[in-house]
């Protein structure tokens, strides 16, 4: 078991260094929480072309299990938590690629949409940014946000107003 943990810690250390050196990951900054390679602090600085969250700076923790990369990490937004259909009120993110690699008991997701060891912290964070651009309202973590996002498509602006408020809070303006 100790050897597996050492292997996992080494893999995570390499992946963190690669992300910190990457020039093609604008808007993503990563570091360790309490010098623990299994818990990363991530800052997502969303560019202005994102309709709802553009200009926001969202802090998250990416927590890896000792069984990584066989099992997925969890991603939790810290305060302020974006108002989003795929983010639970406690900040945990609901995205298919972070669901365990097993059959979905409810039938919402195909096994191919769920966690696979080929995923990396980089692919996870790029998927999170993509989700901020295009929420998934089919199996929402935040039912109210999903309802308002659907209504936004029909001209109601409450979803946009709540998102922009969250962006201002992320910048310390509220």
We report the CATH number of the domain holding residue 46 as 3.10.110.10
Residue in this structure with the two tokens 């940014």, named with its chain if needed: 129
In the chain, % helix, strand, coil (3-state, to 5) comes to 35, 15, 45
pTM given for the model: 0.90
The tokens describing 40, both together, are 């990363």
Q: Tell me if 115 sits within 8 A of 98, measured CB to CB.
A: yes
CA distance 2 to 118: 23
Q: Does residue 94 have an active-site annotation?
A: yes
List the chain pLDDT tens, one digit each, 174 residues: 444 557 999 999 999 999 999 888 889 999 999 999 999 999 999 999 999 999 999 999 999 999 999 999 999 999 889 999 999 999 999 999 999 987 777 667 777 788 999 999 999 999 999 999 999 888 899 999 999 999 987 888 999 999 999 999 999 986
- Count of structural domains within the chain: 1
Domain that holds residue 76: 2-170
DSSP state for residue 35 in the 8-state scheme: T
Residue 55: strand, helix, or coil: coil
Of residues 30, 50, 60, 94, which has the active-site annotation? 94
How far is C-alpha 12 from the geometric centre of its chain's CA atoms?
17
């Amino acid at each position: 078991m100790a050897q597996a943990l050492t292997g996992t810690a080494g893999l995570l250390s390499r992946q963190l260094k690669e992300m910190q050196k990457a020039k093609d990951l604008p808007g993503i900054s990563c570091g360790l929480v309490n010098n623990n390679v299994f818990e990363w602090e991530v800052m997502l600085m969303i560019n202005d072309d994102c309709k709802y969250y553009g200009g926001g700076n969202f802090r998250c923790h990416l927590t890896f299990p000792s069984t990584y990369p066989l099992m997925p990490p969890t991603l939790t937004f810290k305060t302020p938590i974006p108002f989003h259909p795929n983010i639970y009120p406690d900040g945990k993110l609901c995205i298919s690629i972070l669901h365990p690699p097993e059959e979905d008991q409810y039938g919402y997701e195909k096994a191919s949409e769920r966690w696979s060891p080929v995923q990396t912290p980089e692919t996870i964070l790029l998927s999170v940014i993509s989700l901020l651009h295009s929420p998934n309202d089919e199996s929402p973590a935040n039912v109210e946000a999903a309802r308002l996002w659907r209504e936004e498509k029909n001209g109601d602006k409450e979803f946009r107003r709540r998102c922009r408020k969250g962006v201002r809070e992320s910048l310390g303006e509220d």
